[in-house]
Amino acid sequence: MKKFLVFSLALACAATLFAQNPRVDFKNNRDMAADAYWAYPGPTGQLTPTPEGYIPYYISHYGRHGSRWLIDPKDYTEPVAILKEADKAGKLTATGKDVLRKVGLIRAEAYRRDGELTQRGAEQHKAIAKRMYERFPEVFAGKTNVDAKSTIVIRCILSMENALQQLLVANPQLQITHDASHHDMYYMNLNDTALRAKRSAPAVNEALEAFSKKHDNYERVMQTIFNDEAYWHDSIDASQLNRMLYKLASNVQSTELRHKLSLYDLFTQGELYDNWLKDNAYWYVAYGPSPLSGNVQPFSQRNLLRKIIVEADSCIALPHPGATLRYGHDTMVMPLTCLLDLNGCGRQISDLEQLDDANWCDYKIIPMASNLQFVFYRRSPADKDVIFKVLLCEDEATLPIKTDIAPYYHWRDFKDYYLKKLDAYSGK
């Protein structure tokens, strides 16, 4: 027993030790600086061999929709309008004119597709489903059941349907049910007004604004785009334009335009890093365990976690339960990951400047199509010692509970720990 516990701790320490700093990540792959817009990379590691005698027989899943277009039409129209006005006034450099051209192409491609799933987003979920089937074929064997639910947002519904389509290609015998209904939104997409009030309190907004101003880094970009410094100082909100261009640059990778153009070449590594820092801080405060917002934001997913536990308990008692698949949003995946404290994501960090040093990085938690998979194992239908592991973005993750079979855990230990945690939450 001690040997296995030591091994578990060693794995956790190794994961922390070898985790790369965001600056290094962005140097190796600039797309990672897109934070929640990072196009899903797929798993990065190998799965640990299953303990002898155990076979996988049930999967419980919650996934974010795949890559999408930006949601607000103003994300496209405003930078186009600002740059067109400057061009009309003769205030753009050659680079600025090229940026205007690129932004115009992006707007044209995205016209009336705001917030919709892209082709790449559909492909991501097909690939995830294919790997799920190939990694755990026993779960999907024969005429087993797959129950899928989505939030009522079309990009989530289409993500679900693309995944199910792929599973049916792999096994046409699957018995699939799928739905997207307001009936299930109490756990699929809970809107907790009390928690929202905490994260939007004046003190929270002030702290985020102060952090954001500290990391405003746009002057060189403006000097590259405009030929008149007085113009961009006096006639536009330079900080806002910089953020809009960064957002567009980040989202290009989600689209087929990535084969034709890039806006990342407008930014230095340091400028990308500063832009990312602001978004990372926002995600931590709004949906993570930040002391600024009361240490409680992850409890927005308390209903989802209870549902996962209750449904798993019901399913794992069956001879061949199959899979429960759920499709939603980053605003569920992020707090659920923190509520579970996967890979230490539930730790409280008071100083926002320390987030990156502590390796709390949004892009490692909620890239497009990010997902959590609970994979259950047993030795026989009569086996009461059900074990499982959790995959975050298809890679094995650690939980803050003891185990003698890392990265696997005993289901009874999980239930005991997390039901106590949920019951202790007062909602205040």
- Residue 246 pLDDT exceeds 50: yes
pLDDT (mean) for 221-244: 98
pLDDT (mean) for 332-353: 97
3-state secondary structure string across the chain: CHHHHHHHHHHHHHHHHCCCCHHHHHHHCHHHHHHHHCCCCCCCCCCCCCCCCCEEEEEEEEEECCCECCCCCHHHHHHHHHHHHHHHCCCECHHHHHHHHHHHHHHHHHCCCCCCECHHHHHHHHHHHHHHHHHCHHHHCCCCEEEEEECCCHHHHHHHHHHHHHHHHHCCCCEEEEECCHHHHHHHCCCCHHHHHHHCCHHHHHHHHHHHHHCCCCHHHHHHHECCHHHHHHCCCHHHHHHHHHHHHHHHHHCHHHHCCCCHHHCCHHHHHHHHHHHHHHHHHHHCCCHHHCCCHHHHHHHHHHHHHHHHHHHCCCCCCEEEEEEECHHHHHHHHHHHCHHHCCCCCCCHHHCCCCCCCHHHCCCCCCEEEEEEEECCCCCCCCEEEEEECCEECCCCCCCCECCEEEHHHHHHHHHHHHHHCCCC
- Residue 291 pLDDT exceeds 90: yes
**Residue 428: pLDDT band with limits 50, 70, 90:** low
- Residue 146 pLDDT exceeds 70: yes
- From 10-14, 104-108, 162-166, 324-328, the region with the lowest mean pLDDT: 10-14
Query: What structural domains does the chain harbor?
Result: 2-424 (3.40.50.1240)
Each residue of 198-231: pLDDT tens digit?
A: 999 999 999 999 999 999 999 999 999 999 999 9
Please state, in angstroms and rounded to a whole number, the distance separating the CA atoms of residues 370 and 42. Answer: 9
How confident is the model at residue 3, as a pLDDT? 39
- Residue 368 pLDDT exceeds 70: yes
- Residue 49 pLDDT exceeds 70: yes
- Residue 14 pLDDT exceeds 50: no
Query: Are the CB atoms for 367 and 388 separated by under 8 Å?
Result: no
- From 14-23, 36-45, 326-335, the region with the lowest mean pLDDT: 14-23
**Residue 427: pLDDT band with limits 50, 70, 90:** confident
Query: Are the CB atoms for 355 and 281 separated by under 8 Å?
Result: yes
How confident is the model at residue 426, as a pLDDT? 86
- Residue 4 pLDDT exceeds 70: no
- Residue 11 pLDDT exceeds 50: no
- From 3-12, 184-193, 296-305, the region with the lowest mean pLDDT: 3-12
Contacts 24+ apart (CB under 8 A), 122-125: 122/66, 122/158, 122/159, 122/162, 123/66, 123/162, 124/39, 124/40, 124/66, 124/67, 124/159, 124/368, 124/369, 125/63, 125/66, 125/159, 125/160, 125/162, 125/163, 125/166, 125/369
pLDDT (mean) for 391-418: 98
Nearest to 180 by CA among 161, 200, 203, 201: 161
Q: What is the mean pLDDT of the chain?
A: 94
**Residue 364: pLDDT band with limits 50, 70, 90:** very high
Each residue of 81-107: pLDDT tens digit?
A: 999 999 999 999 999 999 999 999 999
Cβ neighbours around 393 below 10 Å, total: 24
Work out the angle at residue 46's Cα, subtended by the Cα atoms of residues 136 and 314, and round it to the nearest 5 degrees.
35
- Residue 2 pLDDT exceeds 80: no
The amino acid at 95:
T
How confident is the model at residue 20, as a pLDDT? 74
pLDDT (mean) for 27-40: 96
**Residue 289: pLDDT band with limits 50, 70, 90:** very high
- Residue 19 pLDDT exceeds 90: no
**Residue 18: pLDDT band with limits 50, 70, 90:** very low
